[in-house]
Structure 1
Amino acid sequence: MFVVTLKFSANKAKAPALMEGHNAWIKRGFDEGIFLLSGSIQPSAGGAVLAHNTSRADLETRIQQDPFVAEDVVTADILEIAPSRTDDRLAFLKR
């Protein structure tokens, strides 16, 4: 599983013009079963995504398709986690 942080860059002011495309990108991630959670990094520092059911290479490609990333509104960092212990409700993450 992966934690992706999308931290605002100096081009943050471009975000409103790209928000529709960014939201469509997030929706696609959920619709395709890759994204489990998305939300804002507080206070107003960017966003984060919890992803699974994908390879790092495929996730990197997916991230490059985010209009915020493509237009340098955010910088993306990927943290890969190999879950070894979970609450029973998250057992599906241990693959």
Structure 2
Amino acid sequence: MYVVLVNYTAPLQEIDYSLADHAEWLAKHYEHGNFLASGMRDRRVGGVIIAKPMARGKLDAILATDPFSIQHLASYEVIEFAATRTAHELNMLNEAVSL
């Protein structure tokens, strides 16, 4: 699974202008089952997305379709990790349990 740190690279006025498109993009990927959680970071420096396990290339392709990416408003730091301990509600994502 992945933690994606979204870092704004443009003024907040430009971010705010594209926020509705970004929210629609997020909703689409929740519907497709790609994302588990997301939200804004403190001090509005960017956001965080927690993505389900998938091929890294697929995640990169998804992130490339984010309106923030297309408009060069943000950069992305992707942290991959294997969940080995989870709350019961997330056991289906625990790679140690699902083996």
The code of the aligned residue for 1:30 comes to Y
Are 2:59 and 1:59 aligned? yes
Are 2:33 and 1:43 aligned? no
**In 2, Cα distance between the equivalents of 1:45 and 1:69?**
15
Which secondary structure does the structure 1 equivalent of 2:44 belong to?
A: coil
- Using structure 2 for the length normalisation, give the TM-score: 0.87
Between 1:53-62 and 1:12-21, the stretch displaced more is 12-21
The code of the aligned residue for 1:17 comes to Y
Structure 1 consecutive aligned stretches of length 4 or more whose deviation exceeds 4 Å:
none
Between 1:73-82 and 1:48-57, the stretch displaced more is 48-57
- Using structure 1 for the length normalisation, give the TM-score: 0.90
In structure 1, list runs of 5 or more residues that go unmatched.
Answer: none
How far the C-alpha of 1:84 sits from its partner, in A, is: 1.4
The code of the aligned residue for 1:74 comes to A
Q: CA RMSD in A?
A: 1.4
**In 2, Cα distance between the equivalents of 1:69 and 1:12?**
15
In structure 2, list runs of 5 or more residues that go unmatched.
Answer: none
How far the C-alpha of 1:20 sits from its partner, in A, is: 2.1
The code of the aligned residue for 2:55 comes to S
State the percentage of identical aligned residues. 26
Q: Indicate the residue corresponding to 1:79 in structure 2.
A: 79
How far the C-alpha of 1:74 sits from its partner, in A, is: 0.9
**In 2, Cα distance between the equivalents of 1:37 and 1:58?**
18
1:9-24 matches, cutoff 5 A: 9-24=9-24
Are 2:90 and 1:90 aligned? yes
Between 1:50-59 and 1:34-43, the stretch displaced more is 50-59
